[in-house]
Amino acid sequence: MTKIYEADQTSGVDAVRRFNRFYTRKIGVLDQQLLQSPYSLAEARVLFELARRDEPTAKEIGAELGLDRGYLSRIIQSFMDKGLVTRKPIPEDRRQFRLKLTTKGRLAFGRLNRSSHDDVGAMLQTLPTRSKQDLINAMATIERLLDGEADRSEIVLRPHRPGDMGWVIQQHGLLYVQDYGWDISFEGLVADIAAQFLKNFDPAFECCWIAELDGCRVGSVFLVKESAEVAKLRLLLVDPLGRGRGLGKRLVEECIKFARVRGYRKITLWTQSMLLAARGIYENAGFVRIASEPHHSFGQDLVGETWELSLEEKT
């Protein structure tokens, strides 16, 4: 087991190092000067921090960038020698100084910033629209996973828009084969449900919520009209990137609130006995299982369950 773990860890380290080599070469970090400017990568980052902050101290910049104090001090002194930065002591702490870009410094930053913007724009311009979005989403995922502060990001719920149904179908097919071994017929069922929703969509009585985290889709749920008094909850999905945040509960709560406002008297849903996380969410929301029946679907022997939630006020 230890050897397998060490092999997996080594493979992961090699993959990250390979990506680092590729990306630094791609954006020109290996050049002595960044973006054909007079500045190294570290100098450019310091220049950026000086431009975006209101008279920061060297200590604040060092903490943000993780730079060695002596190295940072040499960079700032170089900027001062070139007339890019001025400094003034802080009255309450004479050992600290407030730093500020001069007019010359702001012009230097402006040229560097435009060059960076144009270079990245040119790189993205070579990609098809779908590949461009995939790249942006992948970068957001890397940043979120390595930042260690993922919980600061807020999940946003929004109505569906063009392109969302394709994601819903794809993610259901992908996750259910990975997690439960269901075959492609389940993806076909999801595609039929999504197609019918779009074809018969009644915004006054139906809704689809898409959950986004840092611009990436991480969940979905549908509430559709079964009759004048009954709504049906369908296609609840929480992507692995959105798990552990109470998102499933939040999506179900949105369905319940919507159904109450629209005057439904009951919400019904169909699920499977082995989907324990989803069943727990439904039960905690007040749904009651009213029927169960074995069946063979999606390449598996399953037990289908019908759950209901009464929305009528109890007297």
Mean per-residue pLDDT, 93-114: 84
Confidence of residue 126 (pLDDT cuts 50, 70, 90): confident
CB 102 within 8 Å of CB 86:
yes
- Among 218, 250, 61, 64, CA closest to 140: 218
The pLDDT value given to residue 31: 47
Domains and CATH numbers, the chain: 2-148 (1.10.10.10), 152-310 (3.40.630.30)
Strand pairing of 155-159 and 288-297?
Answer: unpaired
| Confidence check: pLDDT of 2 > 60 | no
User: Other CB atoms closer than 10 Å to residue 183's CB: what's the count?
Assistant: 14
Out of 1-5, 151-155, 232-236, 308-312, least confident range? 1-5
Q: How many residues does the chain have?
A: 315
CB 245 within 8 Å of CB 281:
no
| Confidence check: pLDDT of 1 > 60 | no
Confidence of residue 24 (pLDDT cuts 50, 70, 90): low
| Confidence check: pLDDT of 29 > 60 | no
Cα–Cα distance, 180 to 68 (Å, whole number): 49
The pLDDT value given to residue 250: 95
Out of 90-104, 148-162, 227-241, least confident range? 148-162
| Confidence check: pLDDT of 245 > 50 | yes
Out of 4-8, 111-115, 227-231, 240-244, least confident range? 4-8
The pLDDT value given to residue 18: 78
Q: What is the DSSP letter of 227?
A: S
Give the count of alpha carbons within 13 A of 279, CB side only. 13
Mean per-residue pLDDT, 43-53: 83
Confidence of residue 96 (pLDDT cuts 50, 70, 90): confident
Mean per-residue pLDDT, 158-166: 93
Maximum mean pLDDT: which of 97-101, 119-123, 183-187: 183-187
Cα–Cα distance, 307 to 32 (Å, whole number): 65
The pLDDT value given to residue 279: 94
- Among 270, 266, 253, 257, CA closest to 307: 270
User: Other CB atoms closer than 10 Å to residue 38's CB: what's the count?
Assistant: 13
Strand pairing of 230-238 and 266-272?
Answer: parallel
Mean per-residue pLDDT, 87-105: 84
